Amino acid sequence: MSFLNSLMSVASAALNPAQQERASLIPALVSLVNKFPGGLNGLIQTFKQGGLAKVVASWMSSGEKLPVSMGQLEQVLGNKAVATMADDSGLSESKVLSHLTELLPTLIGAFSSSGNGSEPSGSLDVQSVIAMLMKDR
């Protein structure tokens, strides 16, 4: 077991069940984003092309964050990506989608240049995402 996996195990023991599930999803989400063509920028563009430009723009602004449904996420991400995250995290596909309705807006908002509406650049790492999510709670 890697150091990061050990750290995740210790951290998840102190969390409630929903937090444990979200924590188990983070490495799978980071992997998906980093493998996505164009990284986080590519994912944002996919949301925009999928008819969710206004929603994703709200996540990148300092104003009200518009919600996204599980169905919208599944349509934009595709069944294969959702299934891969489910396999990687050990969660059901519906649990993955449920947690992503909270995680993706937070992730995109936090990594979009301090919420000023510009698109993020570079790849993500699990540790920075965990730190960001812990700070957000």
Q: Which of 28-37, 79-88, 115-124 has the highest mean pLDDT?
A: 79-88
Retrieve residue 2's tokens: 């890697």
Rounded to whole angstroms, the Cα distance separating 32 from 100 reads 12
User: Is residue 94 predicted with pLDDT exceeding 90?
Assistant: yes
User: Per the confidence metrics, is the pTM higher than 0.85?
Assistant: no
Neighbours of 123 (CB within 10 A): 13
Contacts of 80 by beta carbon, 8 Å cutoff, 6+ apart: none
Give me the pLDDT at residue 18, please.
Answer: 72
